[in-house]
Every structure is written in structure tokens, then in C-alpha cells.
Chains A and B, each alone.
Chain A
């Protein structure tokens, strides 16, 4: 089953960045990992909800509202997904 193994974390970071760009409609060249979703990238409360749903769709799993509320920077989202991702999606 090695084909369905979790992708390396670099790939997770790229996928997270793509999701964030899509949801927030970002047209900037680079999205620094330290960027704060609300303050730096302009996410409003509806975007935050959309982001969680989009991450669940991309990584196939469920992210609870409590966990989602703790994620404030791009790096925190990448770390969270990297820690939870497995063969069957988010564990």
C-alpha cells in the first residue's frame, strides 16, 4: 500500500497553501508561513469556516471547530495537517 502513503510534509505545505489561496482569493506571489490568516491575509469569519471545509475536502477528514479555532497562522495549519494526515486522510 506504499502508493497511498501520506505525502511528504513539503507537499502538505504546498497543498495547504493552494487551499488558502483559493479560499481567500489571494493573488500575491508568496504566502509566508508566518502569515496570520486574519490579520495578514484578510480572512473574515465566513472565510474561516470555508477554510476548514476546504481543508476537510482536500485532506479527507474532519476538523473539529475547537481545533480549527486554534489555528491562526499558515504554519500552524500545515503542522496540524501534517501531524494528523495518514493513509485514510485525516485521522
Chain B
């Protein structure tokens, strides 16, 4: 029996550059990057070194099928995942039918639900739900002071602003919103998928690893259909998560000129641009399963590799040995050579160390031939969603034979074949790779659906 192949038949993306797959892909190809000053109020609490981020566009969640009642018991990270999953399923040609309105449960017609699973990555899960409820909790003794005439004006204004932005109660669904597995569980419940439901918490490589594990599940025969990807939301109203990254000195300090602050692989890079959040979901299917139902195969996933640095929680190991081994493992899994790769969607965060180590690995493994781009130069860093967004962009690149440019790349750190603007190019094989806090490295190899 021949080896089971894995098709990508649906793609859903929500990111700072667009609220839908089409909007995101169009923005990437047009070089429309997301960047904006952080909310003014965040400067009240601390002297931040970074002053810009990549906010999400407005999203009408009710229009995307999430009722106001459901929204009360879902963290924003899970809501973004649901929006991306809805888009991916529609793109794959499935129209879910409502099975239980009270529980918000749908069914996908004509699938074996016991052989359908969910693999989703996230960095910090539902952390902003806990922050909101905890702030409400901490400030509750101050509620009677609001509106008192004898309070100093500045303090009264600060208190009013705080209380206005806080939830009125500690959310009774907090536990089920905070837990990192809430994202994959919410998709499994919503679409009645009873196969493996797994959450991958490997920070900035989470989306990549989740897709890799989904790929193995289908290829290994455990599942026929999988929703996989990543979701993240770190936009708490007072910038607490932002400050955590800022005080760790990971974020760009180029905020005086926002438009050029985010510049992966450029010698003038100063750190990464944090995104408010994002999500990407792929519908992956066993190849014959997709063909039998007439699904449109947009790309094929053919290899996966993951390794661990065992070096530092926050800095990639300087020799890049484990990054290289993750890439080599993925190529060997796909049964191809480094010289076969036409396009590399790099991790490319814009931090001094990552871009230096990663570009050195890419240079020695792949040389100057394959096209290289960094989607984070457009979207900012969506943490646990970023690897999934980048794998989705890689699949779209293979489908449309187009590669987007690296925004703000003027003086490359190394002489790789970086794209400056979007280009049309014949692409057969591509790589999407991620590294993460903790020391996790993960790489996917994808193939053009038409390549025999």
C-alpha cells in the first residue's frame, strides 16, 4: 500500500493585515504591513522601550457566526481560531449544519467524525481573560470611590478609566477560557470532531508544530480530516503582555519611525514587532479522501521535523545546530534534498540573534538560490499563531506561484535570495520554519499540488 498523502484543502487566516484569508494574502502581496503606536494609556504605567505594535483589524464576531452568548464564555484567542476555522472549512467546501443551538454545535456533512481531529498551537492561551478578571477582582474595593467629589482629579480619571474597561465580574467561565487547550477544544466541540484533539504549547513554534503533528496523524492513518494551526491574543487592555515582552528586551525600539520599525533580516533591525493576535487554520485531508469528495487541493504537506535546543529559555543556541537539524529532518521526511527547495518562509522575527543565527543556517544549508521571505515583516509576530499563518502563506505561495516581499529589508544580514517585493516564481517545494522561546525548533516541507 502506498504512503498516505496529506492535502491542504482549506485555508483560514485572521491577522493584523486582514480579517480573512483573501485580505491577508492580498495585503502580503501588496506589501501592506501592519504597524501602529501602542495605546496612549499604556505609557501611564511604565516607561516602555518599544512604542509600536501590530493591532488586529476590527472583527465583527457575530457576523462571523459567534453569538454574543458564546462570546461571553470564549477567550478572544479561541474566537479568532473559530473565525479562521470557519473560513478554512468554507474554503474546503464544507457547509457546517447547526446541530445544537444552545451549545453552538455544528456538524460537517459526510465525514467520519471519529476520524476527524484538531491540532492547535498557542503561546499563552487565554491569558487576557485571566488578566481582565483579576484586574476586576483587585480593583473591586475601589469601586465605591469612583465618582467621589473629593478625589484628586487625576486619580479619579485614572480610576474611572480602569473601571470602565474592566469586566463587571470575575468571569465564571475563566478556567475554561484560560486553559491553553480551550482553543482546540472549542473547535472540536463546535464541529463535532471526535478524533484526537491536541494542543501544542511551544510558544512561537506552536502553529508549525501543531500542523506537523496533524500531518503525522493523517499520514500515520489515525485521522482522515484535521483542523490544524494556531491562535493567539495578547491585547489585554493595559498592555500587560506587551510589557512582559518589552521588559524582556525582545521588541523593536524603532518606534520613532513606525513604518520602518519592523525589519526582519535587515542589519538595522532592533527587535520584533508584537502583534495583538491572530489565527490560522488549515483543513488537512488524506489525499484520496479529498479527491473522492471533490475538494480543491491547494498544496501538499510532505515533511516535518522538530528539535530542541537545550540551551536557553529565551535565546536560540548560537551555532544554529538544532535549527539546522529540524530543517534537515523535515527534508529527509519529505525525501528531498536542500537543493530542491524553491522557497523558504523563514521565522525572521527581527531580533538581533534570531535573524543572525537563522540566516547563517539557511545560507549553509540552502545557499543563495531559493527565495526567502519573512511574513512577520508584514503581520508582526503573532506568537503561537505565527507558524500557522506562515504555513498558510507558504501553501498560498505554492498555490498561486507567488512569493511576497520582505518589508523594510534594505541591507540584508546575509546574501540570501531575499524577496524585496512580491514576485511570480515557479515553486515546487517550499519550507516554513519556526523557532521558539524555550528552545523549540520546527520545520514543515510543502509541495505544489500539481507537482507529480
Contacts and interface: CB of A to CB of B under 8 A. Distances in A.
Interface in A38-87: 49-50, 52-54, 56-57, 61-62
Nearest to B104: A25
Interface residues of A, number: 13
B160 to A, nearest CB: 15
Interface stretch (B67-75, B118-126, B327-335, B349-357): B67-75
A22 B100 CA distance: 12
Contact of A53 (B100, B102, B172): B172
B69 A56 contact: no
Interface residues of B, number: 14
A25 B72 contact: no
B168 interface: yes
Majority secondary structure, B binding face: loop
B101 A25 contact: yes
B68 A57 contact: yes
Residue among B67, B101, B169, B173 having the largest count of chain A Cβ atoms under 10 Å:
B169
A52 B102 CA distance: 16
A47 to B, nearest CB: 8
A23 B69 contact: yes
Contacts of A54: 69, 72
Interface string B101-140: 1110000000000000000000000000000000000000
Contacts, number: 28
Contacts of B173: 49
B69 A62 contact: no
A56 B169 contact: yes
Contact of A50 (B69, B101, B169): B69
Contacts of A49: 172-173
Interface in A1-60: 22-25, 49-50, 52-54, 56-57
Nearest to B100: A25
Given A24-B102, A25-B101, A25-B102, A62 B169 contact: yes
A53 B173 CA distance: 10
Contacts of B168: 56, 61-62
B198 to A, nearest CB: 24
A50 B103 CA distance: 12
Give me the 10 closest cross-chain CB pairs, A-B, nearest first: A25-B102, A49-B172, A25-B101, A62-B168, A53-B72, A22-B69, A54-B69, A24-B102, A62-B169, A23-B69
17 contacts: A22-B67, A23-B102, A24-B102, A25-B100, A25-B102, A49-B172, A49-B173, A50-B72, A50-B73, A52-B172, A53-B169, A54-B69, A56-B169, A57-B68, A57-B72, A61-B168, A62-B169
